[in-house]
Amino acid sequence: MNNKVIQAMYDDDDVLLKAVKETREADYHIEEVFTPFPVHGLEKAMGLKGTRIAIASFIYGVIGFSFAIWMMNYMMIEDWPQNIGGKPNFSYAENMPSFIPIMFELTVFFAAHLMVITFYMRSKLWPFQEASNPDPRTTDDKFVMEVSLDGDEKKMSDFLKKTGAIELKVAEKS
């Protein structure tokens, strides 16, 4: 029964931000907000939890760093020791300064790429994924706030109109 939503459309991000705050104060549950660009302060207004992607990024960085250490040790010391610039090729520690650029690069490489992939996965943006925004205009200049419909539909519509919505639509949510 409770899978109906009202999609309220706004045409200004400041109005949207205000509407989000008012809607939450009125004890309605916001399912999702679709915007064509990141709106500052929206995640706070919606009460979303802080992102944990920074922690993930740190872990990926550590993985990349360790991988670089292992890789350079395997390549340059164990498997095929090479004499470059007369540096001792039997000792990792004494060769270490020349490996620091590689450590840096792989740390950044791992952190950046894995972080982007994680973000896509968490946002359900894998390949061949169908767009899930309710109205194509939200990719242009309109904003849509999805509020789950409970109780009186008329009362809720009036409330949303008052917050500045320019268009309202009731939709079935699967």
Interaction site with other proteins (CB under 8 A): 40-41, 44, 54, 58, 85-87, 97-98, 100-101
Task: Using the minimum distance from each CB to other proteins, give the nearer residue, 85 or 151.
Answer: 85
**CA distances (Å), 97 to each of 75, 88, 93, 102, in order?**
16, 12, 8, 10
Task: Using the minimum distance from each CB to other proteins, give the nearer residue, 56 or 168.
Answer: 56
Task: Using the minimum distance from each CB to other proteins, give the nearer residue, 41 or 47.
Answer: 41
Task: Using the minimum distance from each CB to other proteins, give the nearer residue, 50 or 136.
Answer: 50
The secondary structure of the chain in percent helix, strand, coil, rounded to multiples of 5, reads 50, 15, 35
CB of 166 to other proteins, least distance (A): 29
CB of 85 to other proteins, least distance (A): 6
CB of 83 to other proteins, least distance (A): 13
Dig out the tokens for 101 from the structure: 């650029």
What would the DSSP string read from start to end of 2-48?
Answer: --EEEEEEES-HHHHHHHHHHHHHTTPPEEEEE-SSPPTTHHHHHTP
CB of 155 to other proteins, least distance (A): 34
Q: Are 138 and 34 in contact (CB under 8 A)?
A: yes
